[in-house]
Every structure is written in C-alpha cells, then in structure tokens.
Amino acid sequence: MEEKPIIAKFGGTSLKDADQVKKVIDIVKSNTRRRHIVVSAPDGITDLLYILNEGGNIDYSAETIINIISQTYSKIIGGLGIEFDLAPHIDFIKKVAWKKQEVELLASRGEYIMAKILAKALGFEFIDAARIICFNPDKTVNMEATWKRRNVLLEQTGGCVIPGFYGALPSGRIMTFSRGGTDVTGAVVSWQASAEVYEKYTDVSGLHMAHPEIVKNPNIIGVVTYKELRELSYMGANVVHEDALFPLRTKKIPMRIRKLDEPDSDGTLIVPDNDTRAIRRTPGSLVGIAGRKDFTVITLEKTRMNQQVGFLRRVCAIFEKLGINIEHIPGGIDAVSIIADTKALDKNIQRSHFARFLTDKIALPLFRLCNKKAHKWLLPFPERKINLIRRKILQDLKPGSIMVKPGMALISTVGHDMTHMPGVALKILGAIESAEINVRMVNQGSSARSIIVGVENKDLERAIRAIYKAFVDEQNRA
C-alpha cells in the first residue's frame, strides 16, 4: 500500500528571501513523502498588494510597491540560481492593480508567483489553487466540489507546489480566504490527500503555553487536541487560522507546528481527542492558558427563580433577538448571570431609516425644545443593546434585581482531564488568591478540558502569570 503523503505548509517568513527558501527546499527534499507543498506569499507582499489596489498610500506609491514586489522575487530567483521569467507576472500585476473588483485576484498573486518559483526550484509540478479549492459565494469552501477535485492532486506522481490563500468560484473568479488563510489551504489539501500529517513551518518553535508578552519565555505545548486548541484560540491564542482545524478534524489528521530553523524538533503536535499521544498525558497537566478582556456580567435575582420553568429560555431569547452571543451562564438557586462580550452589548440597535428619521430629525428636536428632560421618555433611540436588554428583562421577567457590570476578563486554563483530577481548581484559585486578585466568577465542569475564571480587566495579565507559575513550577519539580 502506498504511504500517505505529508503536506507541508510554509508561511511568509519562511519564504521572505533566498536563504529562507533554501531551508524550505532542504526540508522538502529530506523526506520523499513531502509531496504536496503549500506556500504563502513572501512576508509583507500581500499587504503591499492590498495597498496597491488602493492606488498606494503615503508611505508607498504604486510604483514603489511594484518595484519592491519585483525585487523581492528577483532576489529570491537570483539567490536560488534558477531560470525564471518574472516579467509576465509583474506585468499581470500592473494590469489588474487598479481594478477594485479584482482585489482578490491581485492579492492572490503573492502566493501564485511564490508557488511557481518554488515549483521550479524543486522540480515539482505547479498546481493552481483555483483548480482544487472551490468556494461558495459566501466565502466558505464548497467541500463537496473541492473533494471532487482531489484527483488533480492524487494524479501527481512526483511532488507539487500549491499556492495558498485562494481558490475559485464555479465561474472561475478568484476568491481569497481571510488573512492568514494559507493555513486553511494546507488543511484542505491535507484533507483531499488524506495526509499522514499536516506540517506548518513558521518562525516560532510551536504554540506557547501562554502569550509571550504576558509570560516571559513560556514553554512550548507538546501535544494539544483540536478541541483544546479551539478553547485557547477562542480566548485569543491565535497561531493557526481557526478555519484550518475543521477539515483536519473530519479526517483525524494531526497537525505539527514547528520552526523552519528547527526542522527536526517536535514542535507542537495537534491531534484528535482520542489520539493515544493525548490520552497518555498526565491528568490535570497544563496545556495552555489564554485570556480575553471586556466581558459584561448581567446578574438577575428573583425569588423562586429555580421553580419557574422556562425562565432561562426567556432570558436567552432576549439576547438572541438582538443577535448577542452568550458566552457563559453561571447560576445559583435564585440568581443567574449572563456573560457576554461588552463590545457586542455596547453596539446600537439597528433602526430602520424611517425610525431614524422620525426620532432623530423630528421627535427628539421637538422634545428638546419643549422640555429638556422629556426626551428621556421618548422612544429610546439610538440605544445601546445593553439598555434594551435591561429594559426587556425588567418588563418581561420582573426580576427582583438586575445588575450590569462590565470590565471582566475571562481566563481559560486548558489542560488534560482537568476536572477529574482533585486539586486542579484549588491550584488555579490558590494562585490567583496568592497574587491578591479578586475572582469574579468560576466556571468549571462544562468540559473536562478547561476551567474558566473571571477577574477584573486590570488583573488579567497578573492572574495568567500566577496560574502559569503554579502549574509550571510544579511540573518542573516533578
């Protein structure tokens, strides 16, 4: 049986000049199973292409941009010592540069040219991503159509290089992913080729256990599951494009993240939940800590709340109607707290043009003229969503009290089998307490993967450092 391929993705910093590209070539050649190579544009090129589409800016004129792009690729070609005709590609960029409607086509040329150059240097085939990645008009990947295109990859007997970041609509029009989307291309290609592993080469040694700007020299995570990584990413640890995980999960393909300069290192391995490498980890051991600021807690109290069937559903319906995502719902017997993103709650509700005209142009000025205070009673437009929520809750659910408190940060401590190990919550809370930080909320038990603690915004960094120290000091002692 043929061995499964390894898909290797190289990011912009790994392709920024000829010396880096030589390292890429060595890595690809060191294992014949690295047959499908996915590349980003050299560092900074995509930014420049977007600026070019705007006609330049105060720092870069359109001409300067075209020169930088041309020189970046020329130097790579020269440094690699290959024959490559760059001129038609630069001419093409000049041709589409100004067309606003071609912004995605233009942005995709960074990876397109890079993939062509690398294919030439490696002696591999070039496969245009437009042939294998099919988009829906809403910018999601059309997985069914994309699956059907997998033969283009599988028919390759030698190796091939595929540009990342874009694909095409059925009409052939080029469409790009959101920024950093080459990660997604690599994941989709891994899924199409049923890869053994998806390797991402970058400029860091792997995923850090905590943000390096908060914790000095944090350890690298050895093994993390897809679900654990999602919890960390949701809280702000962004090292892999979040859409990259879904195609990998469906086929249980592991992903390895390592530094270009450390090609033999283990880096970080992301695996399915039931992978033995994940299961074998010590229960209660730390995987990572991440946190986000600016949540608001809305606390309702009502006598005999616990006996009112449907109370929580009605609360949730008010949030749903306004399109507010509820993050957590910690509760007591006669009290419940709803935690949501402050930015979302602070947004004004959408009003129709007619309502806006009626209130802003007619009613409000009139009311102001007659009585300064009276306009308070006018239909409260424009209104922040949080005010409407408070009013609706008071009207519909008649709680004994309602309290709205913004300024909370949430910290997710993610680990292996956290909730089945005695003492883990104590370790987290003990560490926070020793740092003299007040805990506003604890959410434990929804998943064995994490314990979530709420603290004041201002305490977020200190709390993360305290928790990290408590776990890592103990792991070092063991």
Residues that bind ligand ASP (CB under 6 A): 11-12, 40-41, 46, 110, 164-165, 179-182
Residue 12 has φ and ψ, to the nearest 5°, of: -55, -40
Coil, strand or helix at 227: helix
Which CB atom, from 176 or from 268, has the smaller least distance to ligand ASP?
Answer: 176
Q: Which residues pair with 340 in a beta bridge?
A: 296, 326
Q: How far is the CB of 164 from ligand ASP (least distance, A)?
A: 6
Q: How far is the CB of 165 from ligand ASP (least distance, A)?
A: 4
Positive or negative, the CA dihedral 53, 59, 61, 66 is negative
For the chain, count helices (H), then strands (E): 19, 16
Report the candidate in 268, 184, 194 with the shortest Cα–Cα distance to residue 228: 268
Which CB atom, from 104 or from 231, has the smaller least distance to ligand ASP?
Answer: 104
Residue 401 has φ and ψ, to the nearest 5°, of: -150, 155
Which CB atom, from 10 or from 319, has the smaller least distance to ligand ASP?
Answer: 10
Residue 237 CA neighbour count, 13 Å, CB half = 26
Which CB atom, from 180 or from 288, has the smaller least distance to ligand ASP?
Answer: 180
Residue type, 374: A
Is the distance from CB of 240 to CB of 200 less than 8 angstroms? yes
> What percent of the chain is helix, strand and coil (3-state, nearest 5)?
45, 20, 35
Which CB atom, from 8 or from 287, has the smaller least distance to ligand ASP?
Answer: 8
Is the distance from CB of 175 to CB of 168 less than 8 angstroms? yes
Residue type, 399: P
Which CB atom, from 40 or from 443, has the smaller least distance to ligand ASP?
Answer: 40
Which CB atom, from 93 or from 209, has the smaller least distance to ligand ASP?
Answer: 93
Which CB atom, from 46 or from 219, has the smaller least distance to ligand ASP?
Answer: 46
Which CB atom, from 110 or from 288, has the smaller least distance to ligand ASP?
Answer: 110
Positive or negative, the CA dihedral 352, 354, 358, 361 is positive
Q: How far is the CB of 317 from ligand ASP (least distance, A)?
A: 38
Q: How far is the CB of 202 from ligand ASP (least distance, A)?
A: 10
Which CB atom, from 53 or from 219, has the smaller least distance to ligand ASP?
Answer: 53
Q: How far is the CB of 46 from ligand ASP (least distance, A)?
A: 4
Which CB atom, from 35 or from 241, has the smaller least distance to ligand ASP?
Answer: 241
Q: How far is the CB of 332 from ligand ASP (least distance, A)?
A: 45
Q: What is the DSSP string of 388-457?
A: HHHHHHHHHH--SEEEEEEEEEEEEEEETTGGGSTTHHHHHHHHHHHTT--EEEEEESS-TTEEEEEEEG
Is the distance from CB of 414 to CB of 288 less than 8 angstroms? yes
Query: Left, alpha or beta for 180 (phi > 0: left; psi -120 to 50: alpha)?
Result: left
Q: How far is the CB of 400 from ligand ASP (least distance, A)?
A: 51
Q: How far is the CB of 65 from ligand ASP (least distance, A)?
A: 15
Q: How far is the CB of 180 from ligand ASP (least distance, A)?
A: 4
Q: How far is the CB of 229 from ligand ASP (least distance, A)?
A: 18
Rg (CA), the chain: 27
Sheet of 255-259: strands edge to edge? 125-126, 160-163, 34-39, 6-10, 197-202, 255-259, 268-271, 223-225
> In Å, how far from its chain's centre is CA 378?
42
Tokens of 444: 């434990």
Q: How far is the CB of 89 from ligand ASP (least distance, A)?
A: 16
